């Protein structure tokens, strides 16, 4: 497996809902404390979100208002109204119908998740796949990757 992108964390609300201020760590903290319910996954983005909430000293205060998703993107749940605010990787959240993207989490709370790419052992066209992977991790791919709200991976 070859790491190729890093996706930062962002926050979304249900379409049409007021967009909270998350421009600073203190504003984000106030947003979490004011939220009736907060949703995130148990994957990389959820783990990083929970760590950030712990660093803010809010784990116990938010425990009863936290809803963990079980399958699919956080925005699917958010669009249905299962919770008030959702937190996940930005590249998964931006532009999802029924939700409005607010912005990236501020400062040290925006802990990105890395995605990797690899060649399947039963690939029918391994050379074409290798060429695609070479392109995906090349500097030429970086502008295209950024259009999808991710950054090229750099160790």
pLDDT tens column, 4-33: 999 999 999 999 999 999 999 999 999 999
Tokens found for residue 78: 């958010």
Q: DSSP alpha helices (H): ranges in 35-141? A: 44-55, 59-62, 74-80, 90-93, 126-136
Q: What percent of the chain has pLDDT over 70?
A: 100
Check residue 9 and give its pLDDT.
98
Span 114-128, mean pLDDT?
94
Of residues 119, 122, 121, the one with CA closest to residue 133: 119
pLDDT of 141 > 90? The answer is yes
The pLDDT of residue 128 is above 90: yes
Reading phi first (left if > 0) and then psi (alpha if -120 to 50, else beta), residue 95 is in: left
Taking 90 as the threshold, does the pLDDT of residue 114 lie above it?
yes
Domain with CATH 3.40.190.10 in the chain: 2-113
| CATH ID of 2-113, from 1.20.1740.10, 2.60.40.420, 3.40.190.10, 3.30.565.10 | 3.40.190.10
pLDDT digits (tens, 9 = 90+) for 54-75: 999 999 999 999 999 999 999 9
**pTM to 2 decimals?**
0.90
Residue 57 backbone class (left: φ over 0; alpha: ψ -120 to 50; beta: rest):
left
At residue 155, the pLDDT reads: 76
């Amino acid at each position: 497996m070859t790491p190729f992108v890093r996706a930062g964390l962002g926050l979304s609300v249900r379409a049409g809902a007021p967009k909270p201020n998350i421009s600073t760590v203190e504003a984000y903290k106030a947003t979490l404390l004011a939220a009736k319910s907060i949703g995130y996954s148990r994957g990389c983005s959820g783990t990083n979100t929970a760590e950030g909430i712990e660093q803010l000293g809010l784990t116990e205060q938010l425990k009863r208002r936290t809803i963990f998703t079980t399958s699919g993107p956080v925005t699917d749940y958010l669009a249905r109204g299962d919770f008030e605010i959702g937190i996940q990787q930005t590249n998964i959240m931006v532009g999802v119908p029924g939700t409005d993207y607010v912005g990236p989490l501020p400062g040290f709370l925006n802990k990105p998740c890395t995605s990797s790419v690899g060649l399947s052992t039963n690939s029918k066209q391994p050379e074409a796949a290798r060429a695609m992977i070479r392109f995906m991790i090349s500097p030429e791919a970086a502008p295209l990757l950024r259009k999808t709200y991710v950054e090229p991976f750099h160790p």
